[in-house]
Structure 1
Amino acid sequence: MEKYIVPLEKLNKKCDPELFEHSTTEDLPASRELIGQDRAMEALKYGLSIRRKGYNIYVSGLTGTGRNSYSYLVAKEFADKRKAPKDWCYVFNFKRPKFPKAIGMDGGQGKIFKKDVEKVIKDIGIEIPKTLTSKEYENNKNLIYTTHQNKAQKILNELNDLAKQYNFVFRQTERGILSIPLKESKPMTDEELDNLSQEEIEELMKTSNELNQKAFDYVKRVKDVEKDLIKEIKNLKEENVLQVLNNYIDTLIERYEDNDRICEYLNDMKADIVKNYDMFMKEDEKNYLEGILLPRDRKEDFMKRYQVNLFMDNNGKSNAPVIREMNPTYYNLFGKIEYVNEFGALKTDHMKIRPGSLHEANGGYIILQARDILQSSHAWEGLKRAITTEEIRIENITGLNVISETLRPEPIPLDIKVIIIGDYFLYQLLYNYDDDFRKLFKIRADFDIEMDKTEDNIRKIGSFVAYQCKEEGLKPFDKGALAAIIEHSSRIAENQNKLTAKFNELVEIIYEADLWADMENRQVVTREDIDMAIYKKNYRNNTYEEKLAELIEKDVIMIETEGEKIGEINGLSVIDLGQYIFGRPSKITVNTFVGKEGIINIEREVEQSGSIYDKGVLILGGYLGEKFAKDFPLSLTASITFEQSYSGIDGDSASSTELYALLSSLAGKPIKQSIAVTGSVNQKGMIQPIGGVNEKIEGFYKICKLKGLTGNEGVIIPYQNIENLMLEDEVIEAVKSGKFKIYRVKTIDEGIEILTGIKAGKLDEKGQYEKGAINYLVQKKLKYYSDISKEYE
């Protein structure tokens, strides 16, 4: 059996501390460079370099590989080369009040523009009342009044000349021009009118009607004069107001003449103020009642139209933004329109339009988590629409518009690069089921979980540790500690020739090792501190493993490590608790007898197995048929189960183990209980590699240690898993001292020889297996079952 034993030097691959140029990280160059992700970094930079529609980026990979932090760093690097984005303001639309206008301008100019408009409105509010109460204005107004009064009096004189013929006179009153009857060339008094007889009254009314018919044109001319008076007074006011506006607003227009949108807005504002100049006049204070919406409130409400909503202020920014939106809800991304409750009614205006993170990132980059944005369907659909149309539209989606007045702000042009970070599974779902995703996210940057264990990468990890020490104020790490970190990195990667790219797991050990060094009053972190940090981390999480070991030690869970048994074998599985993974031995038993059912998987029958496990069991039937039953029908019933297993089972790493037990049962030869087995098998009997090999070996070793090591204990692993071995020092010492063995096999035949101590047997020239071999005995039993089956049929 010696030829199957894994050499001692293959059980672990130590790191040479001398690879590091200096004795501690204090003298090593500190670097935050992303290590071992050349492919992902090239894709990320390529995607950020393309300024074309649809070339947004999906960053895939597992948590802890640096996909978040380095996506931000690379985006920041690109952002630093681009100029700061525009400022954006929302202003009142004087032509379409429900559609506020968006005005863009150079970064930092928005704040100035807002102040300029505020100052102009304030100045205008002072100057308009002054102008309309000035002596010059009053003189002009009086001149107009006098002129029109003379015109009206002249017409009235003509009318009175006519009225004298009817013994009447016309007088201008508050109720207009009225005709009054005369008596002795004097207007009749009310007493005289009351003393008139009925006949006199009727005669007077008849005369009055005739006169009024003839006076109609004169009265109309007087009213026209009054209308002209009102119009000319209004024109005089507007001319005076316009003169004020020209002095202030035209100066502003000249200042912003390079921005057509601002000039258009200011001209519209000027025209609106001319129409509503009266809103700038002071109200009579006595008209206000506290707590009631009266003229002052209406005026303040009205005056909001002249305010500027500085929507996006990029003042002081020298380069493009990089925004990480951690809660990408619809409103957080696209902004919203806020409302206020006034006497039970919800009201809003252009000053209550609020930006979202897309506005903040406009002109730069935004980083989103795939899982977060997909949880909000409105946000995901809105993002795709914004990228497609290249504009950001603000609209409320809560149904609030039904019970309140609403606005439709003008959309803002969108110039942005979107980086979505997620896992491979979500990428495949989106790519296969969302056609828009394919068009809009054409670049994928995939962060690997491991890298090659080259000297260059080893030194880079040393620089990474040096960076952490410098940034976090940690103690320096010596060469031995760095070597231990490299070995632990290979252990996480489960490969002697690889290093993990899950730097968050390394950082945890770095921080904890610094603490242990501090507790031991050491000024430099050593290998002992690294080992202690790893041990204590495991100790904090291995309660379940210890409980299982205790049950096995007390034979509550029956695992035997001595003797030999037919159809019984120790299999190995792993239990993943998140922060801790450990190997658990499980007893697998097989019973065989005549029948037609084939191989019965008890776990499958009770629905406790996964599809991969079921596939592994079904492969066993293919192996038996191909190897032993080519000349006769396979008449067999075999019952296979994991004993004392009360939860789900999946994976095919126990398929070879089950096959060994099946062959043992058929051959009637016992299996050594001191040897546990892991590895999957194909239909041709070739052993295939599995995962978690270190944990499986160490898990069985711990149980053997509990029950007492005799030197016969060991584990059979697939030949291909040798490069995955990064075993703990205790296990290596046990192997070195001959107390524990690790075998590697390529085929089922090799494994069955180790487990039974009997040759597997090969086919001779006649197509028969040599007598006494395991394969001979299996074939003989299967032929026997077939013959019995024929007799019964």
Structure 2
Amino acid sequence: MIKPTELLPPLALETRQLHHACDPAQFGFQTTAELEALSELIGQTRATEAVRFGAGIRREGYNIFVLGPAGVGKRSMVGQFLAKKAEAEPKSSDWCYLNNFAQPHKPRAIRLPSGKGLELQQQMAQLVDYLRSAIPALFESEEYRAKAGAIQDEFTKRQESAFKELGEDAVKQQIVLLRTPGGFAFAPTQNQEVITPDEYEKLPQEEKDRIRQVIAELQERLEKILSHVPQWMKERGEQIKQLNRQTTRAVVTHVMDEQRTRFSDLPEIRTYLDLVQQDMIENADDFRNEEESANLSGLMVVTRKTFHRYQVNVLVSNGEHGGAPIVSEDNPTYSNLIGRVEHIAQLGALVTDFTLIKPGALHRANGGYLLLDVRKVLLQPFAWDALKRALQAREIRIESLGQMYSLVSTVSLEPEPMPLDVKIVLFGDRLFYYLLQQYDPDFSELFKVAADFEDRIERSAETHLLYARLIATLCAKEKLLPLDSGAVARVIEHSARLVGDAQRLSTHMRSIADLLQEADFWAREAGLAVATASNVQQAIDAQIRRQDRLRTQLQDAILRDTLLIDTQGAVVGQINGLSVLELGDFAFAQPTRITATTRLGQGEMINIEREVKLSGAIHSKGVLILSSFLAARYARNQPLSLTASLVFEQSYGQVEGDSASLAELCVLLSNLANAAVRQSLAVTGSVNQLGQVQAIGAVNEKIEGFFDICAARGLTGEQGVLIPGTNVKHLMLRRDVVAAAENGQFHIYAVDHVDQAMTILTGVPAGEAGADGQYPMESINRRVAARVAGLSALRKAFAHPSEEKKMDRSH
């Protein structure tokens, strides 16, 4: 509780309280070029420990979620830490897809030591190239031709022998076996000459019958011989094929033995080479006839066989890089995460094979670390579910979305899943982390480590020096001019201003790096070798200048009296509140006129913004607190018989926050006490039911917003701003505001209670209740209490008898 003696009106804050400067004399260096670079971010001990733990523990579900605002250096810090850690870890294995000769639509996944995948790919390519020339040459050799000729001769002899025997038997019976273009035929002879049809008709009937009978018997024998010919051809084909196998085996076995020796320590490769050898022997003709033709729309298209089935699809190889892989995927689509099977157009159709399997980020990061932006993952359809599915199953299964959802009927592959051993590092704002924790039951099981980055650190002499080293590190990294000690001090002051707290420093590395780069630009423009405090200030001013168009327009509207804001005189029921507008990274404040009216009523507090749905929930809460304060202080033993209306004049947008509740309470008390409020003062602060003033945000911007209007109209020495006492530690005001306060032209008052604020605003003591509960005569509180009592009496006078009884009972 605030004691009565503490409610005396405070004096204006001293100059030293308005801006906590950084003294360049504390630094023992001339420029940042003399300082040692930092190896890690300052003030991120908690996050660093979490990343170290998450990266070190190799248990299921201990993936890392790095949370914090963008720009604090999360990625760079985590990337540097993982890079050092990954160097000391063993290389990840190579992963390849090989043809499955038994089921070509289900390619086999094989794991090989680092570098062996590319070696196998190269050896297989060289082996196929060699065989494509060696095998045809072998089949063109004299030895092969002799063996193939012997097989053909044997077939020919067997066939000719059968036909010769049949012909000789026919001749014995005066029949001859003729070979015609249409096949074989029998004809009668006489004196070893084929008789003509006319001569045949002249033969006796008995002779004709004999000839027909003999020809029928011979025809039957011929048909038996012809029925054996396909079998003989098949036997010949088998013998040729067996010869081809033996011929191919001779050269294939030789080169395969060399490969088996090369990969003798890898049983899986030896098994694969056996299958390749068997397939090459079985399909030796592919090497002899490398061209194949197809008829397409009447055109003969000739293509060359590429022997894809003997290729090695090296999906992932880390032979060139040491340590575990670190992969950052900037476009985490479904296929970019888990891989895909591509198709090519061939003869009007889409075809594919195992060589068209492409890796995803999970494949490339397998055995190491995968860095992802959670927002990008969540924005991609099916990507988040695919990532969770892979982590839960601990395997990477390449599946086409079209097949999964029956969207296409194209024949595709079913690659064998690969085991997954990866550490996922997700980066994102705190909002994503807490939303996923709340709404995704799998999230907490898969991401058990949270690395929460601070956006501010404590300000002290020690952190000043660390910040100077940080600046030196950024300058070296970005190849910027070094800063002198004065420039470093100005950057530190600006860093405190960024977080709105004189006792803290910002860890938003992007903002600091941008400021340093812009200061470097202005220093080089001036031809300097070292950036100074004036260059830093010039960069700060330029950043504001680029974004302050709307602020300038609003200030101009106030100065031209389009927006009504008084900065002199005194008015009852009217006060200057302060509101903040945020446009991206730029925030500024402007004064807003707040007015209040009171009249006879039943204790209603009308928030006009709320009535028209322009009031946010927090602002509405603040107005209801005012009603509670009035009833508790002035109407404990009587009905609160007033109706009050509050409004932000000339405000046509959403009003949110309770930082104007102190101003609203003061303007209400002003109206009730009929006490004029000094328009040369503006008020900001939150208030509770006890009248205590509470801290608000953006206190620097609010003070400066009112100061700019006053300065433009001319400082009189009476203008100023009332702020909560708990906000004094946050003050980092501009130098021109501090200078005006030092010269007595502008004043900052820190108040802890509404009574202090009313005393300053009206020049009339608020007054403390005595032992009898009465306030001093002519005090603000005495006037308000009298007004409330008068309204209660007036209401009683106008009340219906039944209502009057209720009012009496309420006493």
Query: Structure 1 residues 353, 284: CA separation in 2 closer, same or farther (over 3 Å shift)?
Result: closer
Query: 2:344 is matched by which residue type in structure 1?
Result: V
Are 1:762 and 2:768 an aligned pair? Answer: yes
**Partner residue, 1:468:** 474
1:112 to 119, 122, 127: 119
Q: How does 1:362-401 map to 2 (within 5 A)?
A: 362-398=366-402
Partner of 1:358: 362
> Is 2:562 the partner of 1:556?
yes
Deviations 1:670-725 (A, max 9, x none): 11111111011111211110000011111111111122222221111111101001
For the residues of structure 2 that align with 1:186 and 1:342, how far apart are their CA atoms?
63
Displacement of 1:226 = 4.1
Q: Give identity over the alignment, percent.
A: 37
Structure 1 pair 328/742, CA: closer, same or farther in 2 (3 Å)?
Answer: same
CA contact (8 A) 1:26 1:476 kept: yes
Cα distance in 2 for partners of 1:749, 1:415 equals: 66
Residue from 62, 68, 74 that aligns with 2:75: 68
In structure 1, the residue matched to 2:425 is 419
Deviations 1:360-392 (A, max 9, x none): 222221211111111113111111112222222
Checking the alignment, whether the CA contact within 8 Å between 1:88 and 1:104 is kept in structure 2 is yes
How many Å separate the matches in 1 of 2:201 and 2:286? 53
User: Which deviates the most, 207-216 or 639-648?
Assistant: 207-216
1:431 positional shift: 1.0
For normalisation by structure 2, the TM-score amounts to 0.91
Alpha-carbon contact 2:615-2:655 (below 8 Å) kept? yes
Aligned residue in 1 for 2:334: 330
Deviation at 1:166, TM superposition (A): 6.6
Indicate if the aligned counterparts of 2:189 and 2:195 stay in contact, CA closer than 8 A: no
Cα contact 1:346–1:403 (8 A) shared by 2: no
Helix, strand or coil at the partner of 1:753 = helix
Which residue of structure 1 lines up, in the alignment, with residue 756 of structure 2? 750
Q: Which residue of 2 aligns with 1:593?
A: 599
State the one-letter code of the partner of 1:534.
Answer: I
| Structure-2 separation of matches of 1:537 and 1:227 | 89
Give the SS at the match of 1:90: strand
Other structure's SS at 2:690 match: coil
Indicate which of 121, 129, 135 corresponds to 2:128: 121
Distance 2:751 2:10 in 1: 10
Contact 1:155 1:222 in 2 (8 A): no
Q: Does structure 1 retain, via aligned residues, the 8 Å contact 2:290–2:305? A: no
Separation (CA, whole Å) in 1 of partners of 2:705 and 2:138: 95
Query: What is the rounded CA distance, in whole Å, between the counterparts of 2:375 and 2:294 in structure 1?
Result: 56
User: 2:193 & 2:683 partners in 1: Cα distance?
Assistant: 133
1:610 aligns with 2:616: yes
Written as runs of structure 1 = structure 2, the 5 A alignment for 1:638-677 is 638-677=644-683
Determine if contact 2:295/2:301 at 8 Å carries over to the other structure: no
- In 1, the alpha carbon distance for the partners of 2:233 and 2:347 equals 41
Measured after TM superposition, the shift of residue 656 of structure 1 is: 1.0
- Letter of the 1:3 partner, please give it: P
Name the stretch that deviates more: 395-404 or 736-745.
395-404
Do the aligned partners of residues 708 and 226 (structure 1) sit closer, same or farther apart at CA in structure 2, a change above 3 Å counting? closer
Q: Is this contact kept in 2: 1:155–1:221, CA < 8 A?
A: no
Q: Are 1:168 and 1:179, in contact at CA under 8 Å, matched by a contact in 2?
A: no
Is the deviation greater in 64-73 or in 189-198? 189-198
**1:103 corresponds to:** 110
Q: Is the 8 A contact 1:336 1:356 kept in 2?
A: yes
Report the residue type matching 2:736 in the other structure.
Answer: E
Q: Deviations over 1:433-472 (max 9, x none)?
A: 1112111111111111100113222111111221233233
Structure-2 separation of matches of 1:140 and 1:680: 106
Partner AA of 1:743 in structure 2? Y
Instruction: Please give the residue correspondences for 1:318-717 in structure 2 after superposition, counting only pairs within 5 Å.
Output: 318-398=322-402, 402-596=408-602, 598-717=604-723
Do structure 1's residue 317 and structure 2's residue 324 form an aligned pair? Answer: no
Alpha-carbon distance, 1:657 to partner: 0.8
Shift, 1:422, TM fit: 0.7
**2:5 match:** none
CA-to-aligned-CA distance 1:245-265 (integer Å, 9 cap, x gap): 111123212322332332232
In 2, are the aligned partners of 1:21 and 1:28 still within 8 Å (CA)?
no
1:3 aligns with 2:10: yes
Q: Decide which of 79, 91, 104 is 2:86's aligned counterpart.
A: 79
Q: 1:594 to 1:294 in 2, by over 3 A?
A: same
For residue 481 of structure 1, report the CA deviation from its aligned partner.
1.2
How far residue 763 of structure 1 moved from its aligned partner, in angstroms, is 2.8
Whole-Å Cα distance in 2 between the matches of residues 202 and 380 of structure 1? Answer: 92
Among 175, 180, 185, the alignment partner of 2:186 is: 180
SS at match of 2:33: coil
Partner SS, residue 321 of structure 2 = coil
Taking a change above 3 Å as real, the CA distance of residues 714 and 680 of structure 1, as seen in their structure-2 partners, is: same
Post-superposition offset of 1:561: 1.5
Q: 3-state DSSP class of the match of 2:644?
A: strand
How many residue pairs get aligned? The number is 789
Unaligned runs of 5+ in 2: 1-7, 801-811
CA shift, 1:644, in A, is: 0.9
Within 1, Cα distance between the matches of 2:212 and 2:126?
64
Q: Are 1:61 and 1:446, in contact at CA under 8 Å, matched by a contact in 2?
A: yes
Find the counterpart in structure 1 of residue 795 from structure 2: 789
Corresponding residue to 1:773 among 772, 779, 784: 779
Q: Distance in 2 between matches of 1:160 and 1:50?
A: 91
Distance 1:46 1:135 in 2: 72
- 1:767 maps to a residue whose letter is G
Alpha-carbon separation, structure 2, partners of 1:652 and 1:92? 69
Distance 1:168 1:622, change over 3 A: farther
- Equivalent residue letter for 1:335: G
The letter for the 1-side match of 2:394 is: E
- Partners of 1:546 and 1:290 lie apart in 2 by 73
Counterpart pick for 1:300 among 295, 302, 305: 305
Match for 2:141: what amino acid?
Answer: S
Give the structure-1-normalised TM-score: 0.93
Change (3 A) 1:205 1:609: farther
Distance in 2 (CA, whole Å) between partners of 1:20 and 1:292 is 87
- State how far apart, in whole Å, the 2-side matches of 1:565 and 1:202 are: 147
Q: Comparing 221-230 with 752-761, which one deviates more in the overlay?
A: 221-230
